[in-house]
Amino acid sequence: MSQEINFVSPIITPAGKLVLLGMLSMALMVLDNRYAALQQAKSYVATGLYPLQWVARQPAQWVRSGTSYMQDKQQLLVENARLKEGNARLSMQLQLQAPAARELGELKTLNRLQPLLTPQAVLAEIVSNGRIPQADRILITKGSGSGIRVGDPVSDEQGLIGQVTAVQPATAEVTLINHRQFVIPAMVAESGVRTLVYGRGDMLDLRYFPVSAELKEGDLLVTSGIDSIYPAGIPIAKVLRADRNSGTPYYRTTLQPAAHLNSSSYVLVIPQKPQAAARLPESASAPAEEE
């Protein structure tokens, strides 16, 4: 067998290298502590190496920045979802509370009106459109057991809404003032000029108001009280338009009911004066029932 001959032998063994480097390190430490020139050289070397150190730090910095960005983004998404859910809940609560708040406002207004109209006025709730599914009739939760009688006027918090036309022990049917057979003695609140307001099915009508009398847009028509059924001063309608119609001695008008005919939840039933109730039998209806 042939034996390889190594002509290159290490000058310094690994152990010798370790000892040499250790001695060199100790010498540099001593020089660093005793000589300011080496301190200056050290500063120059550190300054020269800073760009390399900055480049070396960037990958780790990018990783940290990316991780922080993803964490912040996820946190913002979670917070945004939570805020959207909270906003939806609050919006739903407001929507659910709006009808209750409106009904509470109606009740407060009606409670203030009750002693002004008459202490005997009866507060009732509207429960349906009545036994005849038409827009000009409603059913309320008070009847003859609460002293309600046919012919009693009915008002919401804004104005006259109708008249009782049928009574049962626990409920009553109210015909709204826009019924075609309704005629209400009225007067202009500002001037006191008396007139009649007619129901027209879908709205109210002022048919025979003479152009010789003063009538203008914005005037309020109220009950005159001359029929002993409707107390004087209950708002009926607001005048939206009043034009002198050429060729006739009467105004051409457009009226808006003061009451919320199709959206009220509570009403006041106002007892008639004794003389009016005596003239109207319980079996009668005003206006007459349609077959």
Q: Give the pLDDT confidence score for residue 47 in this predicted structure.
A: 78
Q: Which residue has the higher pLDDT, 260 or 85?
A: 260
Q: Which residue has the higher pLDDT, 127 or 134?
A: 127
pLDDT at 272 over 70: yes
CATH code: domain 66-176+260-274 is 2.40.10.340
Q: Give the pLDDT confidence score for residue 43 in this predicted structure.
A: 72
Q: How many beta carbons lie within 10 A of that of residue 125, not counting itself?
A: 15
Q: What is the mean pLDDT of residues 185-205?
A: 91
- For residue 15, the one-letter residue type is A
pLDDT at 277 over 60: no
Q: What is the per-residue pLDDT across 226-239, written as a single tens digit (0 to 9) for each?
A: 887 888 888 999 99
* Range(s) of the chain covered by CATH 2.40.10.350: 178-258
Domain 178-258 has CATH 2.40.10.350: yes
Q: Which residue has the higher pLDDT, 118 or 161?
A: 161
Alpha-carbon dihedral sign for residues 171, 172, 177, 180: positive
* Range(s) of the chain covered by CATH 2.40.10.340: 66-176+260-274
**0.95 exceeded by pTM:** no
DSSP codes of every residue in the chain: ----------SS-HHHHHHHHHHHHHHHHHHHHH-HHHHHHHHHHHHHHHHHHHHHHHHHHHHHHHHHHHHHHHHHHHHHHHHHHHHHHHHHHHHHHHHHHHHHHHHHHHHHHHHHH-TT-EEEEEEESTTTT-TTEEEES--GGGT--TT-EEE-SSSEEEEEEEE-SS-EEEEETTSTT-EEEEEETTT--EEEEEE-SSSEE----BTTS---TT-EEEE--TTSSSPTT-EEEEEEEEEE-TTSSBEEEEEEESS-TTT--EEEEPPPPHHHHHHS-TT--SSPPP-
